[in-house]
Structure 1
């Protein structure tokens, strides 16, 4: 029992910075993982990665003007993400280019511009902070921001849940019976941007999408129903956060990458052991042959 306490509980009981990191990471899981499920079901997984990089110029501009302050960097990142999402959507609707290609183009421009802006004022340490986050340095302001984003996301998902599910499963049917398709699409993109901005505070622009997508992708190997998939993704995300923080603490590793790697291990295990994974798909035909 003493060993379990030392390795599993003591870091969170003894250190306030570990408590804040755990609270922030779990709130991000509750908020971002369901959004990741819908990104995956809508075949927009790489869109999340592109938008994550798109917030970098805005966050970097806030850093250039005000330093490492939460509000300017958050507002800048939110504005940049919304602008890129709308611009990519406009290009895909007004030209022959598909949305994924236009999003990729804006993502590359945004990434280069953001790194350049940070380099104008900051050091390599500041650049690492912006790109990879500092979950162990979350303060009360950052937790309040993440908590607000979580609340807004849960309320928005509750309001547009049926339309989102319908658009994922049968978008043509939704268009035939309702005009909610375009508004729901833009509301959903807004939630993606909002959660990536929240994740930016803890995991940086390069890793924030990992907590959004890896638990969602892992949950897909365990269930086909959207509701349980979202709940399972939240649970897997929370487990990844706890495991990553403990790994970071005991092995002196960077906390953000440790969280995402923990989520990656769960994803790989789900590919093999999930009820819809590789082993299950091989067992079922064997049972049918022997029956």
Structure 2
């Protein structure tokens, strides 16, 4: 009875907890598949860089309109796309690796964004921008997150095949189709869209966490892409639920609590995962014998 009360009463009694959990579900449905493809394409750090890249645009929106949803979202989208395009342009024009140019732009973006918020706002505003506040999720923000998740799933359904083939064998895709480059650009756009959604709930520093950590968890439980996506989404939702309960029962902020739970699930998967986990490698199952 006590356990069920701890796990269920926060959501049955408080609307802001139900709204926060709905946001977690939407973020998980959109970000889980994106995280899996980021991991398979060895772009996990690119996702982290893009999360920081949206900060100056969101900060400029904050500078002009305060904590206005439309202004900060628009600014974040513009900044994210601009950094992605500039990094690609520099990489193709100078021969510098794309990850190096992206790292340069995201560090500059992070510094610029923090500076803008610090000059305009208070320390509370800065913490809100950097770490978000999913418990303060209002209806317009929740609607935005849900719309972005819907768009992500629909677009992924269209570009799923070239994404999968390019993740497994990019050379084969280039020989049989020209869909690789357009699919990659659309995929980058989906990364930005989901990071903007995560920014509203978890802040710019933690937005990528609900993408990358569940994908890392899934990698230790399956070798097939479709089950990996399902496991990533499920683990993201579980991390969000447990993190919200932990935040409600303690003084831990909600965003860090969610990411800490996901990190603990990741460590558990590293130890006990059936695909490459430490225990499975130390004590492998019996193979077929002649």
TM-score, with normalisation over the residues of structure 2?
Answer: 0.98
Structure 2: 5+ residue runs without aligned partners?
none
- Return closer, same or farther for 1:287/1:255 CA change in 2, 3 Å cut-off: same
Deviation at 1:4, TM superposition (A): 2.4
- Find the counterpart in structure 2 of residue 256 from structure 1: 255
- Find the counterpart in structure 1 of residue 72 from structure 2: 73
Deviation at 1:281, TM superposition (A): 1.6
- Find the counterpart in structure 1 of residue 282 from structure 2: 282
Tell me if 1:117 matches 2:116: yes
- Find the counterpart in structure 2 of residue 229 from structure 1: 228
Structure 1: 5+ residue runs without aligned partners?
none
Q: Match of 1:179, SS? A: coil
Deviation at 1:5, TM superposition (A): 2.8
Deviations 1:181-232 (A, max 9, x none): 1111110000000000000000000000001100001100000100110011
- 1:86-105 matched pairs, under 5 angstroms: 86-105=85-104
- Find the counterpart in structure 2 of residue 244 from structure 1: 243
- Could you say which structure has the higher helix fraction? 1
Runs (4 or more) in structure 1 with deviation over 4 Å come to 288-291
- Find the counterpart in structure 2 of residue 184 from structure 1: 183
Deviation at 1:288, TM superposition (A): 5.5
State how many pairs are aligned: 289
- 1:1-291 matched pairs, under 5 angstroms: 1=1, 3-276=2-275, 277-284=277-284, 287=286
User: d(CA) in 2 for partners of 1:256 and 1:34?
Assistant: 20
Deviation at 1:95, TM superposition (A): 1.2
More deviation, 84-93/62-71: 84-93
TM-score, with normalisation over the residues of structure 1?
Answer: 0.97
Q: Match of 1:18, SS? A: helix
Deviation at 1:6, TM superposition (A): 1.6
User: d(CA) in 2 for partners of 1:58 and 1:91?
Assistant: 20
User: d(CA) in 2 for partners of 1:110 and 1:135?
Assistant: 23
Q: Match of 1:43, SS? A: coil
